[in-house]
Amino acid sequence: MVSIITVCFNSEKTIRDTIESVLKQSYEEIEYIIVDGGSTDGTISIIEEYVLLFNGRLRYISEKDTGIYNAMNKGIRMSKGSLIGIINSDDFYEPDAVEKAVSCMTEDDCQVIYGYLRVIEKTGTVRYTRVKHTSLSEKMISHPTCFVTRETYKKYGLFLERLKVSADYELMLRFYKSNGVVFHHCPYVMANFRAGGASYGIRSKMEHEFSRLMHGCGSIKEFMQAYWNFLLKTR
């Protein structure tokens, strides 16, 4: 079974696309977990429209959290699948994303499967990201396309919650630098990402350099420059 997790907060404008993309997956052995941060708009009403359509495969909670990675960690702890994917409430999967991920799996206990990402800019312009895991020391692979085995989380840990916008990068870098996790690249577009979310900006750059420094592929100088820029622009 594959567990899909969506975290959300006041996402009524986009979450329907996300839920529909999970509902219409060609792979059927899926459980879907939605972790809502206490939305005050129509998000919960939209989620409840789909409960019966998932035939018992959809569970959700709605409660305050301390940030997006706290919510993701809740979802991972709630999940039961041997493979776990995370798709945020303003993004959506391709119809065969889960099937492609499962087809790329091997017998290794600890593995990450990922693919290409279609990025939709606010202007409507479309571009594609094709970053491979061999470049993780410098930049992030496409997190919306990532599927991680449960054993990987059990052995190497969950998201570092003190990071607010780049804990996904730190996590993948941690997996990669462990030398105990096998990365499999699936050469397919697996997810769609609406640009302009929380991962943009100077805090992201600062946390990115902090993660690189933590795992031995950055420098004090690069981190301090990013940290100084963060302080200057947030004073």
Examine the domain organization and report whether 191 and 214 are in the same domain.
no
Asked if residue 51 and residue 10 are part of one domain, the reply reads yes
Q: Are residues 85 and 187 in the same domain?
A: yes
Query: Do 214 and 177 share a structural domain?
Result: no
What is the structure's pLDDT at 116?
97
Distance CA 78, CA 7 (A): 13
Residues 69 and 105 in one domain: yes
Instruction: Please check whether residues 85 and 54 belong to one and the same domain.
Output: yes
pLDDT in tens, 7-53: 999 999 999 999 999 999 999 999 999 999 999 999 999 999 999 99
Q: What local confidence, expressed as pLDDT, does residue 46 receive?
A: 98
pLDDT tens digits for 167-205?
999 999 999 999 999 999 999 999 999 886 544 578 899
Query: How high is the pLDDT of residue 230?
Result: 86
67 plus 157 within the same structural domain: yes
184 and 217 together in one domain: no
Structural domain including 59 reads: 2-197
The mean pLDDT value of the chain amounts to: 95
- What is the count of structural domains for the chain? 2
Tell me: do 59 and 150 sit in the same domain: yes
The CATH number that applies at residue 106 is: 3.90.550.10
Do 13 and 101 fall within a single domain?
yes
CA distance 156 to 91: 26
Q: Do 125 and 32 share a structural domain?
A: yes
pTM: 0.94
* Residues 118, 231 within the same domain: no
Q: Give 121-161 pLDDT, tens digit per residue.
A: 988 899 999 999 999 999 999 999 999 999 999 999 999 99
Please give the pLDDT value at position 231: 87
